[in-house]
Structure 1
Amino acid sequence: MSSAARGRTGDDCRSPCRTERRPVAAAMSRLPGALLALVLAVAAAGACRAADTDTGAATGATRLRVGVDGQDPPMSFVADDGRLVGFDIDVANALCAVLKARCELIPSEWDALAPGLAGHQLDFVVASLSATEQRRALVDFTRAYYRSPGRFVARRGRLREVTPETIKGLRIGVTSETTFDDYAAANLSSGATIIRYSTQPDALLDLLMGRIDLVLGDHLVLEHSFLRRRSGAGFEFVGGPLTDIRWFGDGNAVAVAKGDDDLRELLDRAVADLHENGVFERIEMQWFGYPVRDLSGDLVRAAPVAAPAGGAP
């Protein structure tokens, strides 16, 4: 997809949003353990909530602070001209248009998004978050706006499938503090070495350089930011899609602070509106060229990968 194609999608997607690049909960973003950081943020959130008179549409305010990733093409990234663009950016703008809200899009470190909600520095997050049970204990989700499975990418011909035997001794790159990180740590680490990166582009660069053997990530991101580009010409998907809802959730959804039911319900209806009024279809076709509302097909509770015999090499 050319850089020129990476614009906004039609008048329905243009809300009066502005972007500001500033850290959210930066002091918490690199603490050892995202869960600890989030628990600390939740503990401090009560007083902040009472003092905050601009916490979103649910309280009658017209300004909403929307957390986005900003480093995850084609979902959310900074274009050559400095604009924040991407699939999730267009979805966020479209949601704000439905809500008739003035939005500020705030690019944040991935592991600062949930603490930003808990500390009420953000009102909601549009960052292709998988609605897993683990995350539901920390934030609340709307209905899914799309579903995309996990996939492995490797150099073409490197291996045909991903099994305990084929990955033994290999190096697998994942983005840290993601569902892919959780899955790999629980199911793959006894046979392979898991290498964690701050961003997926960093992992893909090491894959290109031969420093790792596979990358585990989101189907859409891997396909459109890598495999369809010249740099990904010698690589391919390996194995089938990963759709186990225990690890990958039941879809990618908008996140709000735990207990913010009013805003969650407003956003839930807004997501439904985008699906019904054709706006979401225009966005997905603009960025991907095919429907992405459910790439996973039937979600299944697949058995996790078993540990290879003999344990770690």
Structure 2
Amino acid sequence: MRRLPVLATFALAGALSLTACTNAVSEGAGGASTGDATAAAAPSYDTSKIAKVDDIAAKLPADFDGTLTVGANLQYAPAEFFGGADGQTPTGYDVDLANALGQVLGAKVEIAHAEFASIIPGIGTQYDAGISSFSINPERVAEVDMISYISAGSTYSVQAGNPKGLDAADLCGTTMGVQTGTVQDEVVDQLSADCEAKGADPIEVLRYNSQADVTTNLVGGKIDVMYADSQVGQYAEVQTQGKVEQLGEVTDTAPQGIVVAKDDPELTAALQAAMQHLMDEGVWQDLLDTWGVSGALDTAELNPTV
């Protein structure tokens, strides 16, 4: 959940070692395998079959030049990241969504990689829209318009089959892995303190610079449980080919939104209508199903109250 200025990346890239951390700075999707952990190739949704909807395309501004430039920080799998055979191709469910919106609007889509914190300031000048896991909050809505499209939260993950019989309601005494700089990293120490306050063993927290390292060490058994964003945790199951699974339900859910400039109401209306069309036609749900993640909303609400 991108509540912080920048969250680090996730994917299982290159060799997925069971014995040591990779300390990877940026990671693609897919790759080779080592030992018992196998990194699966990233999925992708075929947006080419989505037809243009003339009534929705007619909502675009009269001076629209035919190209929808979308700002994204391509370091946050499975939503948006560099992938493909060359490791440089914009990939992820947010990227697929941008292309799907382009199909409905009859527009070419250009994905522009940028630092996460720089995207909103560039909306309306450098970028027509921002689609990069932006959590909706009052501070952002005061600055830009936001169209809700997905709900994200936090999840715990364990080894497949939950061999240690862990209960999401009581993880005291476990070894828990988190990625530094994430929302989960902010709150895990409090979870441990809560355990101690009730007389239980504390949680042993292990922090890693990359989400790939967290997942690798869960598969390898160095940690008992992984604590991550819901889509990140669910995608770990896809990337490890079922070697990890979700424990319990998604918690602390909040909507994320497509970002558009407040002084561009026609583009906002066009994107909102296009997003609603994808929802109504079941395309959005199918797209997320392809990625193995949940959270699809069924109403593209403009600036929802959160």
The structural deviation recorded for 1:188 is 2.8
Contact between 2:129 and 2:259, CA under 8 Å: does it hold in 1?
Answer: yes
Contact between 2:167 and 2:247, CA under 8 Å: does it hold in 1?
Answer: yes
Contact between 1:173 and 1:214, CA under 8 Å: does it hold in 2?
Answer: no
Matched with 1:100 is 106
Q: TM-score, normalised by structure 2?
A: 0.60
Structure in which a larger fraction of residues adopt helix: 1
**CA–CA separation in structure 2 for the residues paired with 1:256 and 1:184:** 33
| SS of structure 1 residue aligned to 2:228 | strand
How is 1:156-167 mapped onto 2 (pairs within 5 angstroms)?
156-158=162-164, 160-163=166-169, 166-167=171-172
Is it true that 1:217 corresponds to 2:221 in the alignment? no
Structure 1 residues 135 and 237: alpha-carbon distance in aligned structure 2, compared to 1, 3 A threshold:
farther
**CA–CA separation in structure 1 for the residues paired with 2:285 and 2:210:** 28
**CA–CA separation in structure 2 for the residues paired with 1:278 and 1:166:** 37
The structural deviation recorded for 1:272 is 0.8
**CA–CA separation in structure 1 for the residues paired with 2:178 and 2:223:** 7
| SS of structure 1 residue aligned to 2:50 | helix
How is 1:154-303 mapped onto 2 (pairs within 5 angstroms)?
154-155=158-159, 156-158=162-164, 160-163=166-169, 166-167=171-172, 170-174=175-179, 176=181, 178-184=182-188, 187-188=190-191, 190=193, 192=203, 199-210=210-221, 212-223=223-234, 225-230=235-240, 233=243, 235-242=244-251, 244=252, 248-249=253-254, 251-257=255-261, 261-288=265-292, 292-294=295-297
Contact between 1:13 and 1:94, CA under 8 Å: does it hold in 2?
Answer: no
Matched with 1:24 is none
The structural deviation recorded for 1:131 is 2.5
Matched with 2:70 is 66
How is 1:301-312 mapped onto 2 (pairs within 5 angstroms)?
none
Alignment-mate amino acid for residue 293 of structure 1: A
Matched with 2:301 is none
1:195-217 per-position Cα deviation (integer Å, ceiling 9, x unaligned): 66555324323434555443222
The structural deviation recorded for 1:139 is 4.6
The structural deviation recorded for 1:280 is 2.5
The structural deviation recorded for 1:271 is 0.8
User: What residue ranges of structure 2 are gaps of 5+ in the alignment?
Assistant: 1-38, 53-59, 195-202, 299-306
Contact between 1:66 and 1:122, CA under 8 Å: does it hold in 2?
Answer: yes
Aligned identity (percent) is: 26
**CA–CA separation in structure 1 for the residues paired with 2:157 and 2:150:** 21
Contact between 1:173 and 1:212, CA under 8 Å: does it hold in 2?
Answer: no
Alignment-mate amino acid for residue 75 of structure 1: A
| SS of structure 2 residue aligned to 1:122 | coil
Contact between 1:140 and 1:255, CA under 8 Å: does it hold in 2?
Answer: yes
| SS of structure 2 residue aligned to 1:284 | helix
User: What residue ranges of structure 1 are gaps of 5+ in the alignment?
Assistant: 15-56, 296-313
The structural deviation recorded for 1:91 is 0.7
| SS of structure 2 residue aligned to 1:201 | helix
RMSD: 3.8
Contact between 1:9 and 1:286, CA under 8 Å: does it hold in 2?
Answer: no
Q: TM-score, normalised by structure 1?
A: 0.59
